[in-house]
């Protein structure tokens, strides 16, 4: 997928109260969101944020990276929710991504950017993705590419929105509100599709 196309999709895809009312109607402490009955624990969200901050602090550009990633907690939750939505959309479409496809796509990115270190630095800078989160981001990118190939770039929003509606998304008000029209958290400044900066073009056969 070309970067311009990916970014155009970002507009429609991609944290007050200490408790979240889950699908059962019970308030559950320590929950950032519930997606399809699956709880995204606050601890899991904070772990992702910590991984990014650790990577940023190790970078020579630490000050700039920290300054440019305000609202990281909300952006990470946004990505975690949308990843689950994408997986559901792929399941509904009969699509899957293999470990080999992820490895091949990542390897292609690394070669194009001149090495693993350069690749990690680029995704950290452009998408606030820690090294431990890269494979998941690549997988999501490949799912988007496959959905685009199946439905068309302009038409794939509908099945993704349908998957989100089917799952149901409930978010702890602390992190904002879920916008079903845009399929993202309101106020999120870094839609998940920014992960497309991992590569300008999806690998062949995606």
Is the residue at 200 inside a domain?
A: no
**CB of 168 within 8 A of CB of 135?**
no
Question: Taking the CB of residue 102, how many other CB atoms lie within 10 A of it?
Answer: 18
Provide the 3-class DSSP secondary structure of residue 38.
Answer: strand
**Domain-embedded: residue 198:** no
pLDDT value at residue 51: 97
Within-domain flag for 206: no
State CA 196 to chain mean position distance: 10
Please state the domain count of the chain.
1
Domain with residue 121: its CATH number is 1.10.4030
Residue 83 placed within a domain: yes
Residue 28's pLDDT is 55
Is residue 104 a part of any domain in this protein? yes
Residue 199 lies in a domain: no
Dihedral over Cα of 189, 127, 76, 4: its sign: positive
pLDDT at 70: 87
Asked if residue 203 is part of any domain, the answer here is: no
Give the residue numbers spanning the domain of 8: 3-190
The answer to whether 147 touches 159, Cβ cutoff 8 Å, is yes
% of the chain surpassing 70 pLDDT: 76
**In the prediction, which pLDDT does 21 show?**
28
The predicted structure's pLDDT at residue 29: 62
Report residues of the chain scoring pLDDT below 50.
Answer: 1-27, 190-206
In a domain, 93, yes or no: yes
pLDDT of residue 187: 66
Total Cβ atoms within 10 A of residue 101: 18
Question: In terms of Cα–Cα distance, which of 157, 119, 135, 171 is closest to 8?
Answer: 157
Report yes or no: 140 and 86 within 8 Å, Cβ to Cβ. Answer: yes
78 touches 40 (CB < 8 A): no
């Amino acid at each position: 997928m070309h970067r311009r196309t990916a970014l155009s999709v970002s507009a429609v895809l991609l944290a007050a109260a200490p408790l979240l009312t889950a699908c059962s109607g019970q308030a559950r402490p320590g929950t950032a969101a519930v997606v399809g009955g699956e709880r995204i624990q606050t601890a899991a969200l904070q772990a992702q944020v910590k991984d990014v901050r650790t990577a940023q602090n190790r970078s020579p550009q630490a000050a700039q990276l920290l300054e440019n990633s305000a609202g990281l907690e909300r952006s990470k939750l946004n990505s975690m929710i949308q990843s689950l939505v994408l997986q559901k959309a792929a399941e509904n479409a009969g699509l899957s991504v293999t470990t080999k496809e992820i490895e091949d796509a990542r390897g292609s990115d690394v070669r194009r950017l001149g090495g693993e270190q350069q690749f990690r630095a680029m995704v950290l800078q452009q998408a606030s993705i820690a090294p431990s989160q890269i494979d998941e981001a690549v997988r999501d990118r490949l799912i988007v590419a496959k959905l685009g190939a199946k439905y068309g770039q302009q038409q794939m929003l509908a099945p993704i929105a349908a998957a989100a509606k089917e799952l149901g998304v409930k978010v702890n008000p602390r992190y904002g509100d879920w916008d079903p029209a845009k399929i993202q958290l309101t106020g999120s400044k870094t839609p998940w599709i920014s992960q497309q900066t991992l590569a300008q073009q999806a690998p062949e056969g995606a």
